[in-house]
Structure 1
């Protein structure tokens, strides 16, 4: 076969053959590399090979063989480390959804590694920027100088005795973190490793997480992503990483040498410490934006297949708010996502995924469907149905809010839990009934179809929104650093500054804020469900009131270790020890106040501070702010046991407490107003302090 460009001397004599249509991407087989890429509407596809520095295009090889819609070629003699890309010929008719432009170098959607950084230039656009015809015009400038190059890799790695921790959901505590944000200012991480995968897996970070009692770290996007052009123009970066451009390649900015083994080493070290690694993945859209965005990969390979298009084909369905929506109803796009997920589990050894804007993934032509193609594909997959699967159950599309509607075994981020706890502890009227629902795993949402109480991922804070410190320090967001005149980010955060806006050295205000944080954390970790903490909350990290730090790759977005509140960290560790020690706090079954055959007691009993069961008028009393709960193992449990927990949540004034007579005695094991106090036998006449949580365990004599 004759290449479009002559072969350079270093490739002359190397056998070029048809290759095979599998596996997708670039696969080294010891004799050369097989390349396979999908495009249903292309007329011609060319493989471009580059010099080791990525600056010189060495040759273009036409992929003359095609099986169905998969184009393929085998190039003998080349090895891992080879840089490549594609140019694809076909119709440029945006009105019909086709945007082929062979002048634009394209990333391989299956590239396992990327080399070089995206350089923003008008040459990246398939159309002429500034043309009165906008995206209907056609640009002939070569974009290769500005595009990262795909890299042939050998993903083999010496995993040694690595084994997935496989933490049961009943024991899982998730810690949401950013690779760079957690390590950029950590004094225990070597300066050269800060902000990297290897730095994240350093002894200092691992020791901190193990001491806390974390079982699972959930990382903000680590798939290769780009910095939005409008951010670069303002001197900012896409810090969070929700603009994926490569679903198989680890983000290079978190590497020291640009090698895949760095990510694998990170996972291996986490596993050795007994901690799972879950990835936040973005399969709902790509970083190519709307019709005025760049032509980097999917758009130039087969725009009409990869994206959901509006009627006519020129404009994109925008259920994600980012300009485009990937078309997972197309079998080859769904296959790419499934291949990506399996790759990260089988080759990179990750333990699960959190799906960004997951409602997009389940939206069929007629709307959201919990039995849709994506969910069916994942649930039947023998590799994927055994790892942790977590949905962010909403998007901005029609019918996008789907909390509670996902199929087993998906867990779901529970924003009702977040908002309910914030409002109860802020002192909002009438929030006791909502707190009761959240403490029992939001059964009204999740108790169906055989789902477990652990389905609800409970959180008070996450990357999107205020940190815990800011939640008790600001009533208004402070997002001016984002360059959007403070218009971005949530406006209603259910936050409270407890007396003064922003940081305060006033001892009374500081004490009130510290107590509020302890109350929120304690309620989170006592509730049924799967608990999630935001990295840095355990040490009082602040983002200076910024509740949308997506572009703040700086001290605003990074965890501040220099001013770490070690007492708060010790308190969080104590809470996690308490949760682990009491299975009654982390049950699989939902509790519905059913009587237990073993002792005739209900598995959950609600009480007022005076020991009486709340009456209907109490539940409707907007001033009812002291709610008590007595928990036991579910009535349906095989071994109900005698264990119990009695907890008091008082968002009001101090009042006398009458302990239940269902145990010979009670031991106070936690009082948020005295966080360092040792357990003590409860005595008659006990008073519940104002704005506090008390936790008791029974004493059996």
Structure 2
């Protein structure tokens, strides 16, 4: 096949085509097109020469008796070049709430199975209006297939350290120094940074094609756009703005994955199968509203087809309908098998447990179908185990293999580090892998994705710099975003020149990162936290595609010190298997070991303050997990004063301090400290600090 170079007067010959496969498929002699549309009485395929073409060069009419099999419409266009664009029009009754059938039939529709998409002529406002321009639509691009492989190796989260980043924001800042800022290609240039940091998995915020115009009117009036990408319109296509050439979207994304794999990094995708960019009754017509409205969405037939909204975004995907379930499975398998991604994080995944009418299902088909897929069962599956309408499944998401974003871990650790007393039992349970959530039904520590910050909320620096959100820049009078941040500004709100406040903030940031990377389970770091990225108190920067959100590669001395601290913490985690146990801690020796896998303490040995309502200090000793591994003794002191804490004594062993968050860089973390505690049975722990001691054998 050749790239499109179409003479406007040329007309390509057509054949009936096949309903297998759906989408636009390049084949010998031309391109096969297939689309599902249940209620259409006729279909039209509109062909455009390029992404810049205003008018179609050919409109192909499809007849029901020739081009329809069941509810699938299909046609084969002979000798059609690749990189042509196309849309569909569907004639017939559609039931779209905001417009009559005649208006809906005029709308140009985007193929839900498009592998590449152009947004050149997209206008969300016009697509939402019955009388809006029919051509103000996304257009699918005929693109070459990527090389596919049938074999999918087993990929797990054992030993994983996840790094959540935004593809555009990671390199869009002028200081990034990459050739193609804000693209998959730009991210490839930053792989050495990720490799040096030491993370093992990169979790990309949504990269499936999304509507950047999907923001509230007040935000649009300020020139803001949808930055995060939780507004998917094309589940098979990489986002065009992250590409150098939109027509090569699959190839450019696959190049990123191949480069990540070559560097030993895995890639997880944050995917949004709970709602689409079509929103509610006032939202645009893109595809599903016309093609399969009552199948694809939760609608209330008793209320005029009103969209049921369990996502806060206007509509909810009817995930457990058999056709929708099959669509989602095929889509996910495509990203794994053809584009080679290594797993998924599912946004608002509790929507997957809703059946017809939104009712909660005890055994919802979709989660089980995903983890039972021959392809998907081999890759990590992570659920954001709640939705916007009150469902909360942390610790109870359906299925066997699903990991979960552990929101309880986040909240407990935030409360503890900011100084709330009486949380010792909860803190230790969280740091031990959250057995209270996962052990009873046979799950493992790796089912818990531990995090303190993520894209949604404060960055790490803002978590220790603000008591309240400051979202005025979003255009909603600071009404958006959560008010429950569990943060502490350390004595001043926002920017300050007070050295004591700044010093405490830096120490608190180190405390959070140390606790995260010393916990059992799978740690997830928000991209930029390792260099103290700030959003100036904005905890809902979904619409801030600007320097407020972008990674600034001009690093201050404090940022460089924090980067070193995080790198060394990751290295510490990697060299200590005792921090990455496959099974839950028991408090007993295992496999003939001399010492219990964990021993809990307070200021005195063996006296953890489980039930002390004023306690803000706890210590624990981790036995070695692997031959030759040193033991660790960890002390967390969130009191306002220093404490003298007992240290266990073992024959032939002494302790050396390797982490002390109260100290300035480079003494805050060292790989081989000369400071020995061997002659002492107690140690000094500074206020608001984390101390880690590592055992070593005394010389004979």
Secondary structure class of the residue paired with 1:57: coil
Of the structure 1 ranges 149-158 and 424-433, higher mean CA displacement relative to structure 2 is found in: 149-158
Q: Does 1:681 align with 2:676?
A: yes
Q: Is the 1:98–1:302 Cα contact (8 Å) retained in structure 2? A: no
Match of 2:397 among 405, 430, 447: 405
Corresponding residue for 1:130? none
Q: In structure 2, how many angstroms separate the alpha carbons of the residues matched to 1:682 and 1:18?
A: 81
Match of 2:601 among 584, 599, 607: 607
Q: Deviations over 1:323-353 (max 9, x none)?
A: 0011112222222211111111112111111
Aligned CA distance change for structure 1 residues 314 and 62 (closer, same or farther; 3 Å): same
Per the normalisation by structure 1, the TM-score is: 0.91
Aligned CA distance change for structure 1 residues 93 and 216 (closer, same or farther; 3 Å): closer
Aligned CA distance change for structure 1 residues 51 and 654 (closer, same or farther; 3 Å): same
Q: In structure 2, how many angstroms separate the alpha carbons of the residues matched to 1:597 and 1:218?
A: 36
Q: Does 1:169 align with 2:172?
A: no
Q: Deviations over 1:538-584 (max 9, x none)?
A: 00110011000000001111122224411100000000000000000
- Give the superposition deviation at 1:74: 1.1
Q: Does 1:223 align with 2:208?
A: yes
Q: Does 1:476 align with 2:468?
A: yes
Corresponding residue for 1:47? 45
Corresponding residue for 1:178? 166
Aligned length: 668
Corresponding residue for 2:263? 273
Q: In structure 1, how many angstroms separate the alpha carbons of the residues matched to 2:507 and 2:482?
A: 25
Of the structure 1 ranges 38-47 and 433-442, higher mean CA displacement relative to structure 2 is found in: 38-47
Match of 1:651 among 638, 649, 654: 638
- Give the superposition deviation at 1:356: 0.5
Q: In structure 1, how many angstroms separate the alpha carbons of the residues matched to 2:259 and 2:412?
A: 37
- Give the superposition deviation at 1:113: 0.5
Q: Does 1:429 align with 2:421?
A: yes
Corresponding residue for 2:306? 315
Corresponding residue for 2:117? 114
Corresponding residue for 2:108? 105
Of the structure 1 ranges 432-441 and 574-583, higher mean CA displacement relative to structure 2 is found in: 432-441
Match of 2:254 among 264, 288, 305: 264
- Give the superposition deviation at 1:274: 1.0
Aligned CA distance change for structure 1 residues 383 and 671 (closer, same or farther; 3 Å): same
Q: Is the 1:164–1:351 Cα contact (8 Å) retained in structure 2? A: no
Of the structure 1 ranges 397-406 and 407-416, higher mean CA displacement relative to structure 2 is found in: 397-406
Secondary structure class of the residue paired with 1:335: helix
Aligned CA distance change for structure 1 residues 233 and 186 (closer, same or farther; 3 Å): closer
Secondary structure class of the residue paired with 1:102: helix
Equivalences for residues 10-409 of structure 1 within 5 A: 10-12=10-12, 14=13, 16-52=14-50, 53-64=52-63, 65-94=67-96, 101-117=104-120, 119-120=122-123, 123-125=126-128, 127=130, 139=131, 142-144=133-135, 146-156=136-146, 168-185=156-173, 187-190=175-178, 192-202=179-189, 205-226=190-211, 227-228=213-214, 230=217, 231-258=219-246, 259-260=248-249, 261-312=251-302, 313-365=304-356, 367-369=359-361, 371-409=363-401
Q: In structure 2, how many angstroms separate the alpha carbons of the residues matched to 1:289 and 1:336?
A: 19
Q: In structure 2, how many angstroms separate the alpha carbons of the residues matched to 1:398 and 1:520?
A: 28
Q: In structure 1, how many angstroms separate the alpha carbons of the residues matched to 2:152 and 2:567?
A: 23
Q: In structure 2, how many angstroms separate the alpha carbons of the residues matched to 1:443 and 1:335?
A: 34
Q: Is the 2:10–2:57 Cα contact (8 Å) retained in structure 1? A: no
Q: Does 1:691 align with 2:688?
A: yes
Equivalences for residues 545-694 of structure 1 within 5 A: 545-564=537-556, 565-596=559-590, 598-599=592-593, 601-614=595-608, 618-632=609-623, 643-652=630-639, 653-662=641-650, 664-674=653-663, 675-677=665-667, 678=670, 679=673, 680-683=675-678, 684=680, 685-694=682-691
Of the structure 1 ranges 516-525 and 685-694, higher mean CA displacement relative to structure 2 is found in: 685-694
Secondary structure class of the residue paired with 2:666: coil
- Give the superposition deviation at 1:667: 2.5
Q: Deviations over 1:1-50 (max 9, x none)?
A: xxxxxx974224x2x22211111100010211111111222222221112
Q: In structure 1, how many angstroms separate the alpha carbons of the residues matched to 2:20 and 2:252?
A: 27
Q: In structure 1, how many angstroms separate the alpha carbons of the residues matched to 2:488 and 2:347?
A: 28
Q: In structure 2, how many angstroms separate the alpha carbons of the residues matched to 1:574 and 1:269?
A: 25
Q: Is the 2:409–2:430 Cα contact (8 Å) retained in structure 1? A: yes
Q: Is the 2:156–2:379 Cα contact (8 Å) retained in structure 1? A: no
Q: Is the 1:222–1:250 Cα contact (8 Å) retained in structure 2? A: yes
Aligned CA distance change for structure 1 residues 556 and 591 (closer, same or farther; 3 Å): same
Aligned CA distance change for structure 1 residues 426 and 287 (closer, same or farther; 3 Å): same
Q: In structure 1, how many angstroms separate the alpha carbons of the residues matched to 2:315 and 2:455?
A: 23
Aligned CA distance change for structure 1 residues 164 and 339 (closer, same or farther; 3 Å): closer
Aligned CA distance change for structure 1 residues 97 and 412 (closer, same or farther; 3 Å): farther
Aligned CA distance change for structure 1 residues 163 and 532 (closer, same or farther; 3 Å): farther
Aligned CA distance change for structure 1 residues 465 and 370 (closer, same or farther; 3 Å): farther
Q: In structure 2, how many angstroms separate the alpha carbons of the residues matched to 1:362 and 1:185?
A: 40
Aligned CA distance change for structure 1 residues 673 and 171 (closer, same or farther; 3 Å): same
- Give the superposition deviation at 1:142: 4.4
Secondary structure class of the residue paired with 1:409: coil
- Give the superposition deviation at 1:692: 1.2
Per the normalisation by structure 2, the TM-score is: 0.91
- Give the superposition deviation at 1:80: 1.5
Aligned CA distance change for structure 1 residues 169 and 550 (closer, same or farther; 3 Å): same
